[in-house]
Structure formats: structure tokens, C-alpha cells
Structure 1
Amino acid sequence: MSAGAIVIVGAGQAGGWAAATLRGHGYAGRIVLLGDEPHAPYERPPLSKAVLGGQAAPESTELFSREKLAELDITFRPGVAATRLWPERHQVETSDGAVLDYGKLILCTGGRPIVPALPGADGRAVHVLRTRDDALRLRARLGPGRRIVIAGGGWIGLEVAATARQAGCATTVLEQASRLCARSVPPGVSAHLAALHAAQGVTLRLNASLRAVHARPEGGCVAELADGGRLEADAVVLGVGMQANDALAREAGIACERGVLVDEYCRTSAPDVLAAGDVAVAAPAGGGPIRLESWQNAQDQGAAAALSALDAGQPYLPSGAVWSEQYDAMVQIAGFPARAECEVLRPQADARALLSVALDEGGRVVGAVAVNAARDLRQLRQWIAQGTQVDPAQLARADAPLSSARIG
């Protein structure tokens, strides 16, 4: 293998886009794309929605087909993981025993669901949702009258809850915190999401968590809660977070902190090793290191890492863009609203809509959350990028245009 080859470890959103970007920008050398799953690169957002609900086939999520990868002259190795990395030798070992030389290496190893260390967490009725195969296994459990208990009131948990309710399941969400999505949105948004799900018949239990899952011999299980309560369930879904797949980097001596640390050019602490996507920890403008778990960041950072590998990179600053579909609600996030010192809720004509604007201590817009309110979000994205200062009182006026809230 050529010493100038580029090896990409991980064939998800970030890895797929990194490979395509290399070819799109004229790189003619060898590209090897390692994927530990048996599938060609695919997109994950539909898994908790259309695929889980049965409205879309798993194959419809494909990002780049095997034929497309071959057309781009990308050596794709499905079902092959990287098992050891020697940065000083510019070599990586794979699960089939091969040792590959590289000129540049891009880590796009993603993450995996956190499985709490509690009794019964490995039972047949307990599910996580990360891969296409996970979605198909869980889909088989959904149906009218089925009882689904979801541990975790974050984005994955709420999307699964929405899909389960639409499939006719009796659905309960357990959230350990005092509100939903507390790590990513301000309180007003949490309250709106809680009302949305309650209106659809989801039972929400805040300040609640699992203690154990007890399998039933005849199928299903009993979810035992930390407060001693018990819930009969046909399936328990664990949606309590994700941890970075950074073991390969850590064992190679690359700097990691809840993921692989990268600079604005996606470079790690090891020469010629870059990282992108869910595994990468970067520093966005105006904040400390953060690891983003989003489709948009994986795509954008994967492309940015590829350009940096070609010595044509531009500084990459994570934008925090996230979206989520729940029932008929489109939730869109811009910036980093959880960092708000002040949340302003801008009145909407439709009671089902929401526009939450996050301000820092200086009254500058640092984030926003829109629920079925995409039009105003376009303006707010510009203000976030520019650090625009606004008048909170004017921002909260239903009879005043959004633009009137800008100061200066």
C-alpha cells in the first residue's frame, strides 16, 4: 500500500463525506474506508423515525452505495474495524489481521450508546438505537397495545417515543433530570416538548431512572425504577446518552477527553492523524471543548477533515445545528442554546409552535430553538454567527418584527 494513501477509520456520515470530499477536491491517491458494520455508509437520523416506524426501508438511508464508492475508486472494507494504531510508524492494524500504511489517517469512529451497569441491561427485551440493525430489532417490538419503556428523555428517547406512540404503543419515558433535553435546550423548550408528548398520550416520569430490568419467561420484562416502582413492558429502550469510540486513539497515545481532541483544522495530537464526527471534541466559538452528536456536524466536520488532510483546510467551527422530527413538530436548533444566561420565548401565532432565543450575559444571541418556526430561525442563525446584541423585551413582543429587537 502506498505510504501516501489516506485511510479513513469509520464509514458513517463523517467517514463517508470525508472520502467523497477527498475525491471531489482532486485527490488521486488511494483511499481506504474501513467500516465495522456490514453496510455501506448510511444516514442515521431516519432510524428513529421512518425506519423504526416502518415507513422506510433500511436501504433508503444509504449515503453512498457500494457502486458509488467503486466509481470513486474508494477501497471500501465493510465489516472491518481498526484494532491498533501506531502513529509514529504511520500504520494501522485491522480486525482481519492486515497492517495498512498511511500518509494521513482520519478517525471517524463515532460513538456507541451508553448501557448502564444495572441488572438485566443485557436482556433480550432491552434495546438501544444506533445502527440499522438496532432499528430493525426494535421495530419488531412495536405495535398496537405494546408497552414500551424508554430510559432517557433526550433526542433519541423522544424520537423513539413519538414513533412508538404513532405505532399504537403504550409509551412511558423515564428522565433522570427534572426536565427533558436538559443538556441541550433551555427550560422553556423542555416544557414545550413535555406538553407535546403528553398531548400525544406519552407518560412522562421526570426525576426517574431504572434500577433493573427483570425478564419474563414468557417474554417481555419488568422495569424496576430507582424509587421502587415497577412497570410491565414488552421492551425497554436505553437512550441515556452516547460515549465516543476513542479507544483506538487513546491506546495509541493520542490526546483524548471524552473523545478525541482536535484543533480547528481537525488535527489530533498525533502527526498526520485527524478526527471528525461524533468521536471528535472541538472548541466552538465562545465556548469550551464540546463533542457534538449530530448529522450536520458529522457531515461538515468530515468534509473539513478531508480538506485538512489535503493541506487545503479552513478553520472549522462547530455550529451546533441539530434537528428532530416528533409527530408533526419539526424541532430545529441553531448555536448552543443550553449556554443561555437568559431565555426569551417569542410568541407564535400557532400555539403548537415555539421560538426560544438564548442570550448570554451581554444580551448577545448564542442559540435558538424553533418548533415549526423555521422562518425566523434563518435570521437568528445570522445573529448567532455575528454575536448580535438584542433587546429582550422587544424580542418578546408579538406585535414587533424580529428585526426590531436588534441593537445597533
Structure 2
Amino acid sequence: MEHSLSVSPVVIVGAGHAGVQAAASLREEGYDGEIVLLSDERELPYQRPPLSKAFLKREMDLHGLPLRAEAFYPAQRIDLRLGARAVRIDRAARTVALADGTSLPYGHLILATGARQRRLEVPGVDLPGVYALRTIADAAALRERIVPGLRVVVIGAGFIGLEVAATAAKLGAETAVVEIARPMGRAVSPALSDFYAEAHRSFGARLFLGVGVREISGTDKAEAVVLSDGEVLPADLVLVGVGVTAEDALARAAGLDCGNGVLVDERLVTSDPAISAIGDCAAFPNATLGFVTRLESIQNAVDQGKLVAARLAGKPKAYDALAWFWSDQGDLKLLIVGLSHDVDQWVVRGDPATRAFSTYGFRKGRLAVVESVNRAGDHAAAKRILASGKTLTPEQAADPDFDIRALAKG
């Protein structure tokens, strides 16, 4: 069992949701040693979800983004170092080398390095006018440019791509979305994917589905997106949102076991017992699915930060938190609880035409995931049912007279 006195100092690489939560939870758990929190960005650690929604729509400014107030870090004796990029881990010496040439000793190291944009390998992707959305700087640049009449082409219809597309359409831009498969295809049910395709058309976007990108054309800047079928979409701004990959280069270079991310055990410990990994960069054994997976969600980042902090304070346990996600697109709030991997039966409850309904996904007859559009009550009930292990059958889910919320409370 690891005790706080034996692991000081704790160095955390990455100051997103996972890293900040780990630092805060260490203090909450009574850890009294030194905590160093490294961020390679210059801004105070901030929330990422609003970047594609409220911030981009100008409903929130920079002051609303920080995860914690600036005074929180000194008050909690957390040594927050901004613009401090970790470049190398020396596991034998237990040190982390920074880009400025300095080196930090650690008793325990927490990797919360997050994920990086998946690169779209097509000609023209590096032209001016082609954007990704990962940081405050990315969001600020997009916010400045998206104005009524601007021709915006979004490549990729995952959560980020669709959130930006909905925001761009609301701001009056001429918006097109290109997706090689179907909207949010890897994450949601076919019924939900089809519903969102129609919803985005109603927002004013044109959708090009089942087609890829041949190139982004232009001389000095992006001027058009050429699709794999030869169609040309004129563009003043191109957003690439084709997914992310684990930011595990630091771990790989240090010789830690990696797969689709930094491999950890059920307590989130890497192949080196002095190093943990949490959040988007960590590939962990999922208790529900029975195999190793990596999740990109705020819930996962926060819950893993809490678990590692508790372990370092002498309270180890296996990670088994219930996964949940959300996405705001136009007037639609999507809430998902559970995971859709290997779901073999879907039941729709409610009428999608009313823009308020839920889909229930079953894996071998057992409830595995619930997707709710504008029905927060269904989401709350589903959370309780899945967390408690109660039984809900496909027949009950399909019966409009069956009281699911009563089952959740009972």
C-alpha cells in the first residue's frame, strides 16, 4: 500500500480536467506532501467542453473557462507551472526533464497528458484557414473568424465537429459537414445518428455522408475541399475534427507499456509502479466491458483523478466508475450513460419527431447504455439503474406505460 509520506513529491504532467482533479483530490484526501502540476499551455487550466459551444457562440468569455480560480493553487499548496513542457522521464533517477532544461524529482508521477488531434493526411491540410479545435487559442481563432455568410466546411461528424457545425450555422455561416461514415457513428445508435443528421440539416447545414476528402485546395490559403467523389465544396474556413489519439509519446519514450494509450492496471498504475496514468491518455481494463479501453470524457478524467489521489493517500481500489458523456448541438442536449460497445438491441422510447426521446441499448439482454435527447430525467433514471445493477428488459423499455423512473427510485 502506498502512503503519502513515501511518494512525495507528486508530479502531475498535464493540467486538464484529470490533472487538476488529481491535484485537488490529493489535498482533499489529506496528502500533505509537495504537489507539482505541469501545464505546457500558458493559460490557467481551463474547461474544454465550452470551447466548441458556449465560448464559440460568444455566450461565455475567457473568464468563465478556468477549472479553478487562480488563488486555488497557492491556497492548496499546488505548485502550478504554466508553459512547462515535460520532454523526458528518467525512471531510474525518478526525474522529469522539462523543455527549459530543468529537471524535477518525483516520488510518484501522474501522467495526465490527454489526447492530440488525429491528423488528416490529405494534400492542403497545412494551408492557412485550416483549423483544429483543441485549445483556447484554437477556439479564439475560430470565434474571431466565424461570421454570417462565411463558408465553413467541417471534416468529421463526431461530437466536436457537429458541435462546431451547429454553432457555425447558428452564427449565420454557410456550413457543410463531411463524414466518411455516419454522424457520431462510433459512439451512438443508428437511430440517434439518423436523428442528428436530420437535425443538422434543419439547422441549415449541408451534409455529405459516406464520402471522404481527396484534398484541401487553395494557393495561399484554403479555398475549397475536394471530396473523394470529385465534388468541390468552396470554403473560407475548414475545421478538421477526425478524432484524437492518446498523447502517449512521453510514456513510450520512457519505455512504459503502451497500446491505444498508456496501459494501466485496474488501479490505474502503469508498468512502472511509481507512475500512474489517467484521463484521455490512459488505456485501462474496463470492468463493464471486460477488456482494455480508453475513454475521452470529462467524467472519466475526473473520476480517475480522484481514484489515483485516494490510492496515494493509502486508500487503493479498482476503477469501476459508470461512464457518461454529453453534447450540446443547437437546441439539442444529448446525454449518454453507459457504453455502446457490442450492443445488439436498441429500443427507442418516445417520439424523435418531438425532439425529446431516449434510446436504450442492450448487450445480450442486459441494459448497457441509454442515450437521451432533451430528456434529462431519463438520463438521471438510467444512471441510477445502471449503477445499482437493477434489471430493465427490452420489453419494459419499449412499453410507454412502464414507469422507468419508479424502477430507478425503488
TM-score by length of 1: 0.94
Aligned pairs (5 A) from 1:200-211: 200-211=203-214
Q: Match of 1:329, as an amino acid?
A: L
Distance in 2, matches of 1:89 and 1:279, equals: 23
- Match for residue 23 of structure 2? 19
Which residue pairs with 1:225 in the alignment?
A: 227
Q: Of the candidates 64, 67, 92, which is equivalent to residue 60 of structure 1?
A: 64
Partner of 1:105: 109
Q: Distance in 2 between matches of 1:12 and 1:349?
A: 35
* Cα pair distance change 1:32/1:173, threshold 3 Å: same
Match of 2:14 in 1: 10
Query: SS at the partner of 2:80?
Result: strand
Whole-angstrom CA distance in 2 between matches of 1:24 and 1:389: 35
- In structure 1, the gaps of 5 or more residues are none
| Selected match of 2:373 from 371, 374, 384 | 371
Secondary structure of the residue aligned to 2:333 is: strand
Give the deviation of 1:348 after TM superposition: 4.3
Secondary structure of 1:156's match?
Answer: helix
- TM-aligned CA deviation for residue 194 of structure 1: 1.2
1:325 aligns with: 328
Q: How does 1:164-183 map to 2 (within 5 A)?
A: 164-177=168-181, 179-183=182-186
- What one-letter code is carried by the residue in structure 1 that aligns with 2:372? A
Task: Indicate the larger mover: 280-289 or 120-129.
Answer: 280-289
Instruction: Assess if the C-alpha contact under 8 Å between 2:124 and 2:222 holds in 1.
Output: no
Cα deviation digits, residues 187-219 of structure 1 (max 9, x gap): 1111111121111111111112212111254x5
Q: Percent identity?
A: 40
Alignment correspondent of 2:257:
255
Matched, 1:69 2:53: no
SS at match of 1:211: strand
- Find the counterpart in structure 2 of residue 401 from structure 1: 403
The answer to whether the aligner puts 1:295 opposite 2:281 as a matched pair is no
Q: Which residue of 1 aligns with 2:3?
A: none
Q: Deviations over 1:137-159 (max 9, x none)?
A: 11122011111111111100110
Aligned to 1:136: 140
Offset of 1:3 from its aligned partner? 7.3
Q: Is residue 2:56 matched to residue 1:90? A: no
In 2, are the aligned partners of 1:185 and 1:338 still within 8 Å (CA)? no
Query: How far off is 1:175 after superposition?
Result: 0.8
Provide the residue aligned with 2:318 in structure 1: 315
C-alpha deviation, 1:360, in angstroms: 0.9
Amino acid at match of 2:106: Y
Q: Are the equivalent residues in 1 in contact too, given 2:7–2:312 (CA < 8 A)?
A: no
Q: Is the 8 A contact 1:18 1:306 kept in 2?
A: yes
Q: Secondary structure at the match of 1:83?
A: strand
Instruction: Normalising by structure 2, report the TM-score.
Output: 0.94
What is the distance in 1 between the residues matched to 2:164 and 2:228? 22
Any gaps of 5 or more consecutive residues in structure 2? 1-5
Compute the displacement of 1:405 (Å). 8.5
Match of 1:78 in 2: 82
2:178 is matched by which residue type in structure 1?
Answer: L
Match of 1:275 in 2: 277
Structure-1 separation of matches of 2:131 and 2:292: 30
